[in-house]
Structure formats: C-alpha cells, structure tokens
C-alpha cells in the first residue's frame, strides 16, 4: 500500500475505534491524531473536517460489515436459507463478525443515531444489500428452495429489522443473552422456510 494510503487508513481506523468507544461528539481531533500517530497537517490533507473523517469512518464500517461481510455471503453458491443465516450471523453478531474488530458491528448504528448525514449513508448501503437479499429470496422461491407460502421481500425486511434490533438492543442494554436469543429465533424462523 502506498505510504499516503497507509496514513489515510490509519486515520480512518483510529477514528472508527475512538468513535466506537467514546462516541463521535466525545472524540476530538487531538484524540484521533494521538491514536493514529499522524500530524494535524496529514489529517487535514485527507479530511477537511471531522465530519468528512466521520463519513470515511462510517463508509469503512459499512464496507466491512455489509460489502465484505453480508453482501459477500449473499453471493455465495449455497442454499438461500444458508446464505441468510450467515447474513444474520454477520449483521447481528454483537461481538464482531469473523475477523472484524468487535466495535465495527455497532459503530454504524451509533454514528447514524447522532448525525443525519451518517444515517443517510448507512441507509443507502443497507438498501442496496436489502435489494440484493430480496433477489436471492425471489430466486430461491422460484427455484423451489424456499417454501412458497412466504413473501420473500417481507422475509428479508423482517430479517434485517430483527438484526438491527439486536444491534440496537446491544447498544442500549448490553445484554448479550437477550440478543443471542433474538438471533437464535430469527435463524430458526429462516430455517423453517427451507424446502
């Protein structure tokens, strides 16, 4: 990776980590500089404002969770229900999906809850993943892999909503057992749709 991209990446990763632990508004530019080991000049070269760094941080969180995680699982060559169960594991895992840092899974929710621009950014990316999941569900229904008594779009929306609720519940209450129960319930429901 070119040196300049390495510095930009360090800034974004430091911001992600600090926004997750302290919150967006409780993290200062000085905190990010200290965590990243970069200078103020380097930070402002890449990001003219803390808000722009925030957009880069939420984009990275979304990229890790949705594009590298959930969306890539939807493209797998497996039974649609297996793909959906894996997406549930990624979207609702309160400890961090797979190789991702634990803070990545809820940072997008935390940031979206305090800033309209971050919320719009998350919504756009999530909507694209939902459309992809709806197509997987429709194909699974057409191919006879999913029971024909369900509306594939509703199944996808229910699944995404439950996963978001699990994440939101974890942010508010940090009661892992309840979140795990909800995760287990949605996975059982999805498994019941297998044909």
Whichever domain contains 102, its CATH number is 1.10.357.10
Residue 28 falls inside a structural domain: no
Residue 40 falls inside a structural domain: no
How deeply is 20 buried, as exposed, middle or buried, from its count of CB atoms within 10 A (0-12, 13-18, 19+)?
buried
What does 127-192 look like in DSSP terms, one character per residue?
HHHHHHHHHHHHHHHHTTSB-TTS-HHHHHHHHHHHHHHHHHHHHHH--HHHHHHHHHHHHHHHHT
Q: How far apart are CA 121 and CA 144, in angstroms?
A: 35
Residue 110 falls inside a structural domain: yes
Residue 44 falls inside a structural domain: no
Tokens of 192: 């019941």
Tokens of 154: 């509703």
Residue 177 falls inside a structural domain: yes
Q: In total, how many domains does the chain have?
A: 1
Higher pLDDT, 25 or 146: 146
Q: What is the 3-state secondary structure (H, E, C) of 17-77?
A: HHHHHHCCCCCCHHHHHHHHCCCHHHHHHHCCCHHHHHHHHHHHHHHHHHHHHHHHHHCCC
Residue 47 falls inside a structural domain: no
Q: Give me the domain span that covers residue 97.
A: 59-191
pLDDT in tens, 5-24: 799 999 999 998 898 888 88
Q: What is the pLDDT of residue 125?
A: 79
Residue 34 falls inside a structural domain: no
Q: What is the pLDDT of residue 7?
A: 94
Task: Classify the C-alpha dihedral 69-71-77-82 as positive or negative.
Answer: positive
pLDDT in tens, 24-45: 889 999 999 999 999 999 999 9
pTM, whole model, 2 decimals? 0.74
Residue 21 falls inside a structural domain: no
């Amino acid at each position: 990776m070119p040196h300049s991209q390495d510095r930009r990446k360090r800034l974004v990763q430091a911001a992600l980590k600090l926004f997750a632990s302290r919150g967006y508004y409780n993290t200062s530019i000085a905190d990010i500089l200290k965590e990243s080991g970069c200078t103020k000049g380097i930070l402002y070269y890449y990001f003219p404002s803390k808000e722009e760094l925030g957009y880069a941080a939420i984009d990275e969180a979304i990229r890790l969770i949705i594009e590298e995680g959930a969306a890539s699982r939807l493209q797998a060559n497996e039974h649609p229900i297996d793909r959906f169960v894996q997406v549930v594991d990624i979207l609702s895992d309160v400890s961090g999906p797979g190789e991702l840092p634990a803070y990545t899974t809820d940072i997008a929710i935390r940031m979206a809850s305090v800033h309209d621009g971050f919320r719009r950014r998350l919504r756009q990316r999530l909507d694209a993943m939902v459309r992809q999941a709806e197509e997987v569900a429709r194909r699974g229904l057409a191919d006879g892999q999913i029971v024909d008594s369900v509306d594939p779009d509703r199944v996808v929306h229910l699944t995404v909503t439950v996963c978001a609720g699990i994440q939101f519940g974890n942010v508010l209450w940090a009661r892992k057992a309840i979140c795990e129960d909800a995760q287990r319930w949605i996975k059982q429901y999805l498994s019941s749709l297998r044909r």
